[in-house]
Amino acid sequence: VYILGIESSCDDTAAAVLRADADSHAVLSSVVIGQTELHKAFGGVVPEIAARAHAEKLDLAVEQALEEANIQITDLTAVAATAGPGLVGGVVSGLMCAKGLAAALNIPLIGVNHLAGHALSPQIEGQSPFPYLMLLVSGGHCQFLIAKSDDKFIRIGGTIDDAPGEAFDKAARILGLPQPGGPAIEEAAKQGDPKCFDLPRPLLNRDGCDMSFSGLKTALLRARDAVLNDQNEIARQDQCDLAASFQAAVTDILKVKSQWAFQRYLEFEPKHPCFAVAGGVAANQTIRGDLKQVAQDAGAQFVAPPMKYCTDNAAMIAYAGLTKFKRSDFDGFDLSARPRWPLDSESPSMLGSGK
Protein backbone atom coordinates (compact mmCIF):
# COMPACT_ATOMS: atom_id res chain seq x y z
CA VAL A 1 0.00 0.00 0.00
CA TYR A 2 1.01 3.62 -0.52
CA ILE A 3 -0.14 6.16 2.07
CA LEU A 4 0.04 9.88 1.41
CA GLY A 5 0.53 11.94 4.57
CA ILE A 6 -0.38 15.62 4.82
CA GLU A 7 0.64 17.98 7.65
CA SER A 8 -0.41 21.63 8.01
CA SER A 9 -1.15 22.25 11.69
CA CYS A 10 1.41 24.99 12.35
CA ASP A 11 3.91 26.70 10.07
CA ASP A 12 5.21 23.81 7.97
CA THR A 13 3.39 22.56 4.88
CA ALA A 14 4.39 18.93 4.54
CA ALA A 15 3.57 15.87 2.42
CA ALA A 16 5.08 12.39 2.47
CA VAL A 17 4.63 8.99 0.87
CA LEU A 18 4.93 5.82 2.94
CA ARG A 19 5.03 2.38 1.33
CA ALA A 20 3.97 -0.55 3.48
CA ASP A 21 3.23 -4.24 3.32
CA ALA A 22 2.10 -6.64 6.04
CA ASP A 23 5.22 -6.39 8.18
CA SER A 24 7.44 -3.62 6.88
CA HIS A 25 7.26 -0.01 5.80
CA ALA A 26 9.50 2.64 4.30
CA VAL A 27 9.26 6.40 3.86
CA LEU A 28 9.66 7.06 0.12
CA SER A 29 9.54 10.84 0.37
CA SER A 30 9.10 13.54 3.01
CA VAL A 31 8.71 17.11 1.76
CA VAL A 32 8.59 20.04 4.20
CA ILE A 33 7.96 23.59 2.98
CA GLY A 34 8.63 25.95 5.87
CA GLN A 35 7.11 29.39 6.42
CA THR A 36 9.77 30.97 8.63
CA GLU A 37 10.41 33.80 6.18
CA LEU A 38 6.71 34.73 5.98
CA HIS A 39 6.34 35.17 9.73
CA LYS A 40 9.77 36.69 10.36
CA ALA A 41 8.61 40.30 10.59
CA PHE A 42 5.92 39.43 13.15
CA GLY A 43 8.05 37.61 15.72
CA GLY A 44 5.70 34.61 15.78
CA VAL A 45 3.39 32.52 13.62
CA VAL A 46 0.44 34.58 12.31
CA PRO A 47 -2.51 32.14 11.90
CA GLU A 48 -4.11 33.90 8.88
CA ILE A 49 -0.81 34.07 7.01
CA ALA A 50 -0.10 30.45 7.86
CA ALA A 51 -3.49 29.25 6.62
CA ARG A 52 -3.14 31.08 3.31
CA ALA A 53 0.40 29.81 2.78
CA HIS A 54 -0.73 26.22 3.45
CA ALA A 55 -3.56 26.59 0.92
CA GLU A 56 -1.04 27.88 -1.63
CA LYS A 57 1.70 25.30 -1.04
CA LEU A 58 -0.18 22.04 -0.33
CA ASP A 59 -0.55 21.04 -3.99
CA LEU A 60 3.14 21.67 -4.58
CA ALA A 61 4.14 19.65 -1.49
CA VAL A 62 1.94 16.71 -2.60
CA GLU A 63 3.27 16.85 -6.18
CA GLN A 64 6.87 16.87 -4.94
CA ALA A 65 6.21 14.01 -2.50
CA LEU A 66 4.73 11.86 -5.30
CA GLU A 67 7.57 12.73 -7.66
CA GLU A 68 10.29 11.95 -5.12
CA ALA A 69 8.54 8.69 -4.25
CA ASN A 70 8.47 7.92 -7.95
CA ILE A 71 4.80 6.90 -7.95
CA GLN A 72 1.66 8.11 -9.75
CA ILE A 73 -1.17 9.75 -7.87
CA THR A 74 -3.40 6.82 -8.90
CA ASP A 75 -1.04 4.43 -7.05
CA LEU A 76 -2.15 5.86 -3.68
CA THR A 77 -4.07 3.50 -1.37
CA ALA A 78 -5.18 6.04 1.25
CA VAL A 79 -4.65 9.64 2.28
CA ALA A 80 -3.94 10.60 5.91
CA ALA A 81 -4.02 14.22 7.08
CA THR A 82 -3.59 15.99 10.40
CA ALA A 83 -7.07 16.76 11.75
CA GLY A 84 -5.78 18.55 14.89
CA PRO A 85 -4.66 19.80 17.30
CA GLY A 86 -3.21 23.00 15.85
CA LEU A 87 -4.07 26.28 14.14
CA VAL A 88 -7.52 25.61 12.76
CA GLY A 89 -7.07 27.48 9.46
CA GLY A 90 -4.05 25.41 8.50
CA VAL A 91 -5.66 22.14 9.56
CA VAL A 92 -8.76 22.98 7.46
CA SER A 93 -6.53 23.64 4.42
CA GLY A 94 -4.84 20.25 4.82
CA LEU A 95 -8.13 18.42 5.35
CA MET A 96 -9.69 20.01 2.25
CA CYS A 97 -6.72 18.90 0.19
CA ALA A 98 -6.96 15.36 1.64
CA LYS A 99 -10.74 15.14 1.11
CA GLY A 100 -10.38 16.29 -2.49
CA LEU A 101 -7.80 13.59 -3.20
CA ALA A 102 -9.74 10.86 -1.36
CA ALA A 103 -12.93 11.74 -3.25
CA ALA A 104 -11.28 12.02 -6.67
CA LEU A 105 -9.30 8.79 -6.28
CA ASN A 106 -12.05 6.97 -4.37
CA ILE A 107 -9.66 5.93 -1.58
CA PRO A 108 -10.01 6.04 2.23
CA LEU A 109 -9.58 9.31 4.14
CA ILE A 110 -7.81 9.07 7.50
CA GLY A 111 -7.77 11.89 10.06
CA VAL A 112 -4.65 11.81 12.23
CA ASN A 113 -3.99 13.35 15.64
CA HIS A 114 -0.79 15.41 15.21
CA LEU A 115 0.34 14.35 18.70
CA ALA A 116 -0.11 10.67 17.78
CA GLY A 117 2.14 11.45 14.82
CA HIS A 118 4.85 12.73 17.19
CA ALA A 119 4.27 9.96 19.75
CA LEU A 120 4.61 7.19 17.12
CA SER A 121 7.51 8.88 15.30
CA PRO A 122 10.21 6.71 16.96
CA GLN A 123 8.66 3.79 15.04
CA ILE A 124 9.13 5.28 11.57
CA GLU A 125 12.70 4.05 11.44
CA GLY A 126 13.69 1.39 13.91
CA GLN A 127 11.94 -0.66 16.47
CA SER A 128 10.30 0.33 19.70
CA PRO A 129 7.79 -2.34 20.65
CA PHE A 130 4.96 -1.29 22.95
CA PRO A 131 4.72 -0.37 25.73
CA TYR A 132 7.18 2.48 26.24
CA LEU A 133 7.35 5.70 28.20
CA MET A 134 7.17 8.65 25.82
CA LEU A 135 8.28 12.21 26.55
CA LEU A 136 6.55 14.30 23.91
CA VAL A 137 8.29 17.66 23.95
CA SER A 138 7.41 20.12 21.23
CA GLY A 139 6.39 23.68 20.40
CA GLY A 140 2.97 23.40 22.04
CA HIS A 141 3.18 20.34 24.26
CA CYS A 142 5.19 18.66 26.97
CA GLN A 143 3.87 15.44 28.42
CA PHE A 144 4.82 12.02 29.71
CA LEU A 145 2.72 9.32 28.10
CA ILE A 146 2.64 5.59 28.56
CA ALA A 147 2.32 4.37 24.98
CA LYS A 148 0.40 1.10 25.25
CA SER A 149 -0.34 0.61 21.57
CA ASP A 150 -0.85 2.58 18.36
CA ASP A 151 -4.01 4.15 19.70
CA LYS A 152 -3.70 3.97 23.45
CA PHE A 153 -1.76 6.61 25.38
CA ILE A 154 -1.97 7.37 29.08
CA ARG A 155 -0.80 10.77 30.27
CA ILE A 156 1.00 10.64 33.61
CA GLY A 157 2.14 14.26 33.83
CA GLY A 158 3.41 17.24 31.92
CA THR A 159 3.86 20.99 31.87
CA ILE A 160 1.53 23.09 33.93
CA ASP A 161 2.21 26.22 31.84
CA ASP A 162 4.41 26.74 28.73
CA ALA A 163 5.82 24.06 26.46
CA PRO A 164 9.64 23.97 26.19
CA GLY A 165 9.62 24.67 22.44
CA GLU A 166 7.56 27.78 23.05
CA ALA A 167 9.98 28.72 25.86
CA PHE A 168 12.94 28.30 23.49
CA ASP A 169 11.20 30.53 20.94
CA LYS A 170 10.49 33.23 23.53
CA ALA A 171 14.00 32.98 24.95
CA ALA A 172 15.44 33.54 21.47
CA ARG A 173 13.29 36.67 21.12
CA ILE A 174 14.52 37.93 24.51
CA LEU A 175 18.13 37.36 23.45
CA GLY A 176 17.71 38.85 19.98
CA LEU A 177 18.22 35.51 18.23
CA PRO A 178 16.21 34.40 15.16
CA GLN A 179 13.17 32.07 15.00
CA PRO A 180 12.65 29.17 15.38
CA GLY A 181 14.32 29.72 18.73
CA GLY A 182 15.35 26.14 19.51
CA PRO A 183 18.09 25.73 16.90
CA ALA A 184 19.25 29.36 17.40
CA ILE A 185 19.65 28.93 21.17
CA GLU A 186 21.36 25.57 20.71
CA GLU A 187 23.87 27.13 18.33
CA ALA A 188 24.60 30.16 20.57
CA ALA A 189 24.86 27.89 23.63
CA LYS A 190 27.84 26.12 22.07
CA GLN A 191 29.91 29.26 22.70
CA GLY A 192 28.44 29.89 26.14
CA ASP A 193 28.96 28.83 29.75
CA PRO A 194 25.88 26.97 31.07
CA LYS A 195 26.85 27.82 34.67
CA CYS A 196 27.27 31.55 34.06
CA PHE A 197 23.72 32.53 35.01
CA ASP A 198 21.75 30.82 37.74
CA LEU A 199 18.25 30.38 36.30
CA PRO A 200 15.41 28.73 38.25
CA ARG A 201 14.36 25.10 37.94
CA PRO A 202 10.79 25.15 39.29
CA LEU A 203 9.15 22.06 40.83
CA LEU A 204 12.46 20.20 40.68
CA ASN A 205 12.49 19.20 44.32
CA ARG A 206 8.87 18.24 44.32
CA ASP A 207 7.50 14.75 43.72
CA GLY A 208 5.62 14.11 40.52
CA CYS A 209 6.46 14.63 36.89
CA ASP A 210 4.68 17.93 36.34
CA MET A 211 6.91 20.68 34.98
CA SER A 212 6.89 24.48 34.73
CA PHE A 213 8.77 26.66 32.25
CA SER A 214 7.14 30.08 32.42
CA GLY A 215 9.18 31.36 35.40
CA LEU A 216 12.36 30.49 33.56
CA LYS A 217 11.44 32.91 30.79
CA THR A 218 10.82 35.76 33.24
CA ALA A 219 14.12 35.05 34.99
CA LEU A 220 15.91 35.09 31.64
CA LEU A 221 14.37 38.47 30.84
CA ARG A 222 15.66 39.86 34.14
CA ALA A 223 19.12 38.40 33.69
CA ARG A 224 19.29 39.90 30.21
CA ASP A 225 18.20 43.35 31.40
CA ALA A 226 20.99 43.26 33.98
CA VAL A 227 23.66 42.86 31.29
CA LEU A 228 22.35 45.32 28.67
CA ASN A 229 24.66 48.25 27.95
CA ASP A 230 23.66 51.94 27.74
CA GLN A 231 22.47 51.46 24.16
CA ASN A 232 20.27 48.54 25.27
CA GLU A 233 22.54 46.13 23.45
CA ILE A 234 23.64 42.72 24.59
CA ALA A 235 27.27 41.59 24.20
CA ARG A 236 27.78 38.45 22.13
CA GLN A 237 29.34 36.55 25.04
CA ASP A 238 26.43 37.42 27.36
CA GLN A 239 24.04 36.28 24.64
CA CYS A 240 25.83 32.92 24.41
CA ASP A 241 26.15 32.53 28.19
CA LEU A 242 22.45 33.30 28.67
CA ALA A 243 21.51 30.86 25.88
CA ALA A 244 23.67 28.14 27.45
CA SER A 245 22.30 28.80 30.94
CA PHE A 246 18.72 28.73 29.63
CA GLN A 247 19.29 25.48 27.75
CA ALA A 248 20.90 23.96 30.85
CA ALA A 249 17.86 24.84 32.98
CA VAL A 250 15.39 23.31 30.48
CA THR A 251 17.62 20.24 30.19
CA ASP A 252 17.79 19.80 33.98
CA ILE A 253 14.02 20.05 34.35
CA LEU A 254 13.38 17.51 31.58
CA LYS A 255 16.08 15.20 32.89
CA VAL A 256 15.05 15.13 36.55
CA LYS A 257 11.36 14.79 35.71
CA SER A 258 12.12 12.04 33.20
CA GLN A 259 13.92 10.10 35.93
CA TRP A 260 10.86 10.45 38.13
CA ALA A 261 8.41 9.54 35.34
CA PHE A 262 10.46 6.55 34.29
CA GLN A 263 10.51 5.10 37.82
CA ARG A 264 6.75 5.53 37.96
CA TYR A 265 6.36 3.94 34.52
CA LEU A 266 8.45 0.94 35.65
CA GLU A 267 5.97 0.29 38.47
CA PHE A 268 3.38 -0.38 35.76
CA GLU A 269 5.62 -1.96 33.15
CA PRO A 270 8.63 -3.54 34.91
CA LYS A 271 9.21 -5.93 32.01
CA HIS A 272 9.43 -3.22 29.35
CA PRO A 273 12.16 -0.73 30.25
CA CYS A 274 12.03 1.58 27.26
CA PHE A 275 12.14 5.39 27.19
CA ALA A 276 11.32 7.29 24.00
CA VAL A 277 11.41 10.99 23.20
CA ALA A 278 9.85 12.86 20.29
CA GLY A 279 8.84 16.35 19.15
CA GLY A 280 10.82 19.39 18.00
CA VAL A 281 12.74 19.88 21.25
CA ALA A 282 14.02 16.27 21.02
CA ALA A 283 16.15 17.55 18.13
CA ASN A 284 18.32 19.38 20.68
CA GLN A 285 21.57 17.44 21.09
CA THR A 286 22.22 18.43 24.71
CA ILE A 287 18.67 17.50 25.75
CA ARG A 288 18.72 14.31 23.70
CA GLY A 289 22.06 13.31 25.20
CA ASP A 290 20.92 13.84 28.78
CA LEU A 291 17.64 11.98 28.22
CA LYS A 292 19.55 9.08 26.70
CA GLN A 293 21.66 9.05 29.87
CA VAL A 294 18.50 8.83 31.99
CA ALA A 295 17.50 5.68 30.09
CA GLN A 296 20.99 4.19 30.29
CA ASP A 297 21.28 4.88 34.03
CA ALA A 298 18.02 2.98 34.49
CA GLY A 299 19.31 0.12 32.34
CA ALA A 300 16.64 0.89 29.78
CA GLN A 301 16.46 1.12 26.01
CA PHE A 302 16.40 4.66 24.59
CA VAL A 303 14.55 5.49 21.39
CA ALA A 304 14.29 8.75 19.49
CA PRO A 305 13.34 9.48 15.90
CA PRO A 306 16.01 10.86 13.56
CA MET A 307 16.25 14.67 13.69
CA LYS A 308 14.19 15.16 10.52
CA TYR A 309 11.20 13.44 12.15
CA CYS A 310 11.42 15.42 15.42
CA THR A 311 10.08 18.72 14.09
CA ASP A 312 6.85 18.73 12.08
CA ASN A 313 6.80 16.48 9.03
CA ALA A 314 4.28 14.40 7.11
CA ALA A 315 6.13 11.07 7.34
CA MET A 316 4.93 10.77 10.95
CA ILE A 317 1.38 11.60 9.84
CA ALA A 318 1.54 8.96 7.10
CA TYR A 319 2.88 6.44 9.64
CA ALA A 320 0.16 7.20 12.22
CA GLY A 321 -2.28 6.99 9.28
CA LEU A 322 -0.93 3.55 8.40
CA THR A 323 -1.69 2.27 11.90
CA LYS A 324 -5.31 3.45 11.48
CA PHE A 325 -5.42 2.01 7.96
CA LYS A 326 -4.46 -1.41 9.34
CA ARG A 327 -7.42 -1.20 11.73
CA SER A 328 -9.69 -0.02 8.89
CA ASP A 329 -10.27 3.06 11.02
CA PHE A 330 -11.34 5.47 8.27
CA ASP A 331 -13.09 8.82 8.41
CA GLY A 332 -16.07 10.22 6.53
CA PHE A 333 -16.11 13.45 4.55
CA ASP A 334 -17.73 15.12 7.56
CA LEU A 335 -14.33 14.92 9.33
CA SER A 336 -13.70 18.33 10.84
CA ALA A 337 -10.64 20.16 12.19
CA ARG A 338 -10.11 19.96 15.95
CA PRO A 339 -8.08 22.88 17.38
CA ARG A 340 -7.79 20.94 20.66
CA TRP A 341 -7.48 17.17 20.74
CA PRO A 342 -5.75 15.59 23.76
CA LEU A 343 -4.07 12.31 22.95
CA ASP A 344 -5.41 10.37 25.89
CA SER A 345 -9.06 11.38 25.68
CA GLU A 346 -10.07 8.70 23.22
CA SER A 347 -8.85 5.73 25.18
CA PRO A 348 -9.97 4.21 28.45
CA SER A 349 -7.49 4.88 31.21
CA MET A 350 -5.66 2.21 33.17
CA LEU A 351 -4.53 4.57 35.90
CA GLY A 352 -7.92 5.49 37.27
CA SER A 353 -8.21 9.17 36.52
CA GLY A 354 -5.54 8.93 33.83
CA LYS A 355 -4.29 12.44 34.53
CA distance 106 to 73: 12
What single string gives the DSSP state of each residue in 235-288?
-HHHHHHHHHHHHHHHHHHHHHHHHHHHHHHHHH-TT--EEEEESGGGG-HHHH
Instruction: Give the residue, chosen from 11, 162, 166, 312, that forms a contact with Fe ion under the rule CB under 5 A.
Output: 312
Question: For ligand ATP, what does the binding mask look like between residues 283 and 322, x meaning CB under 6 A?
Answer: xx--------------------------xx----------
Q: Kindly state whether residue 279 participates in binding ligand ATP, applying the rule CB under 6 A.
A: yes
For residue 138, say whether it is annotated as part of any ligand binding site: yes
Helix, strand, coil % in the chain, rounded to nearest 5: 45, 20, 35
Q: Kindly state whether residue 194 participates in binding ligand ATP, applying the rule CB under 6 A.
A: no
Q: Kindly state whether residue 121 participates in binding Fe ion, applying the rule CB under 5 A.
A: no
CA distance 246 to 265: 28
Contact assessment for residue 55 and residue 335, using Cβ atoms and an 8 Å cutoff: no
Instruction: Give the residue, chosen from 90, 94, 108, 181, that forms a contact with ligand ATP under the rule CB under 6 A.
Output: 181
Question: For ligand ATP, what does the binding mask look like between residues 134 and 173, x meaning CB under 6 A?
Answer: ----xxxx-----------------------xx-xx----
- Burial of 122 (C-beta count, 10 Å sphere; 0-12/13-18/19+): buried
Q: How far is the CB of 21 from ligand ATP (least distance, A)?
A: 29
Q: Of 36 and 263, which has the nearer Cβ to ligand ATP?
A: 36
Instruction: Give the residue, chosen from 131, 158, 180, 321, that forms a contact with ligand ATP under the rule CB under 6 A.
Output: 180
According to DSSP, the β-strands at 274-278 and 142-149 are: unpaired
Residue 319's SS3 state is helix
Q: Kindly state whether residue 12 participates in binding Fe ion, applying the rule CB under 5 A.
A: no
Task: Tell how far CA 265 is from the center of its chain.
Answer: 21
For residue 186, say whether it is annotated as part of any ligand binding site: yes
The site for Fe ion (CB under 5 A) is made up of: 138, 312
Binding residues for Fe cation: 114, 118, 312
